[in-house]
Amino acid sequence: MTTKDKLFPVSINILGKDYRVACTEDEQETLRQAAHELDSQMREIRDSGTVNGADRIAVMAALNLTHELRQAQTQNTSPSGYLSNQLANLRHKIENVLENT
């Protein structure tokens, strides 16, 4: 096993729960970003008050993210470019909320 293939534990927090996930060193930052995006999506769903229960919130978040990915693929848009735009929009929304509090 090379150093690149060696697995390292990464701690992530999603909806207030800590998880440890093993991944290679070069995947750690992408994993953290994905966890952050999932956490944001789940918090948004939870805060809307329309879905109750962590398992249902997780399913709805997964469905939303998968739908966005499919839309990007259908529109012949690069999924990474599409997700980068979505993350930039989300970051902008968060910054606006933080500035107004």
Who's near 25: CB < 8 A, 6+ residues apart? 3, 4, 6, 8
| Residues pairing with 24 in the sheet | 7
The predicted model gives 26-53 an average pLDDT of 92
Radius of gyration from C-alpha coordinates of the chain: 16
The pLDDT value given to residue 11: 94
Domains of the chain with bracketed CATH:
7-99 (3.30.160.880)
Mean pLDDT of the chain: 84
The pLDDT value given to residue 42: 92
The pLDDT value given to residue 14: 93
The DSSP secondary structure of 56-101, one letter per residue, reads HHHHHHHHHHHHHHHHHHHTT--HHHHHHHHHHHHHHHHHHHHHT-
